[in-house]
C-alpha cells in the first residue's frame, strides 16, 4: 500500500487544475497544513470539507466518496489510475421514461446504480442487470463499467505493467481491447457481484 486514494485523487486534480494548496485552503477556510495532511493520507476530511474541496475544484463529490477509505495500491499507482478517472464527468440518462427505481440488492450497499446488459460479452444473461459502484477503484481482473471511444462497455480489466491496460470479455467471440494513448478511455465504476 502506498497511501490513501482520496488524498492522491485530490492532489492529482488540484495539480491538473493548476491550483495551490494555499489557494484552496483560503477559499474553503481551512489551514493549508490540514489540506497537506489530507493529501498525504494522514487525515480524513469531514464530508463538509470534502464537498467544499470538490466545489473549489469544480468536480462532483460522489467519486471522492467512493474512494474515501480506499488504499492506493502499487498497481493503481503503476497504471496511473488518476489518468483514467473521469472526475469531472457524470452519467447522462437519455430517456427518463425508461427509468426504474428499486431497493438496493442485499449485500450490494456500495451500488450507485444498476444497468441493463445489452450483450453477452461477459457471459451474463443478456438484458439482466448488473450493479455499479460509481467511481470505485478497479484492480486487475475486476469487471468494470468503462467508457471506451464513445462506447459504454462492461469488461474485465487487465493491467500489464505501467500504463498498459486491456479490456477483456469473458466470452471469446468478442474482441479484446487494448487501451492506447490515442483512445478516449475512462473507468466509470466497478461491477458488483
Dist. CA 146–CA 155, nearest whole Å:
8
CA distances (Å), origin 164, targets 60, 63, 80, 141, 169? 28, 23, 10, 14, 17
Domains and CATH numbers, the chain: 3-72 (1.10.260.40), 96-192 (2.10.109.10)
3-state class of 193 per DSSP?
Answer: coil
Distance of CA 173 to the CA centre of its chain: 28
Q: How far apart are the first and last CA of the chain?
A: 25
pLDDT per residue of the chain (193 residues) written in tens, 0 to 9 = 456 888 989 999 999 999 999 999 999 999 999 999 999 989 999 989 999 999 999 988 877 887 888 878 777 777 777 777 777 777 777 778 878 888 888 888 888 889 988 889 999 888 889 999 888 888 889 999 999 999 999 999 998 877 789 999 999 999 999 999 899 999 999 999 7
The model's pTM: 0.78
* ∠ CA 148-152-154, rounded to 5°: 100
- Contacting residues for 56 by C-beta, under 8 A, at least 6 apart: 19, 24, 27, 28
Amino acid at each position: 500500500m502506498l497511501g490513501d486514494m482520496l488524498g492522491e485523487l485530490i492532489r492529482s486534480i488540484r495539480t491538473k487544475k493548476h491550483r495551490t494548496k494555499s489557494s484552496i485552503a483560503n477559499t474553503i477556510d481551512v489551514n493549508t497544513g490540514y489540506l497537506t495532511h489530507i493529501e498525504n493520507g494522514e487525515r480524513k476530511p469531514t464530508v463538509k470539507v470534502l464537498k467544499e474541496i470538490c466545489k473549489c475544484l469544480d468536480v462532483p463529490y460522489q467519486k471522492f466518496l467512493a474512494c474515501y477509505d480506499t488504499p492506493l495500491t502499487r498497481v493503481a499507482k503503476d497504471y496511473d489510475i488518476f489518468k483514467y478517472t473521469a472526475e469531472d464527468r457524470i452519467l447522462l440518462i437519455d430517456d427518463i421514461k425508461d427509468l426504474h427505481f428499486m431497493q438496493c440488492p442485499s449485500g450490494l450497499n456500495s451500488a450507485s446504480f444498476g444497468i441493463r446488459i445489452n450483450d453477452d460479452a461477459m457471459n451474463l444473461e443478456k438484458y439482466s442487470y448488473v450493479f455499479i459502484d460509481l467511481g470505485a477503484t478497479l484492480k486487475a481482473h475486476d469487471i468494470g463499467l468503462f467508457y471506451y471511444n464513445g462506447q459504454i462497455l462492461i469488461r474485465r480489466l487487465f493491467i500489464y505493467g505501467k500504463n498498459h491496460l486491456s479490456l477483456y470479455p469473458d466470452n471469446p467471440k468478442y474482441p479484446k481491447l487494448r487501451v492506447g494513448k490515442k483512445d478516449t478511455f475512462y473507468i466509470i465504476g466497478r461491477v458488483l457481484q
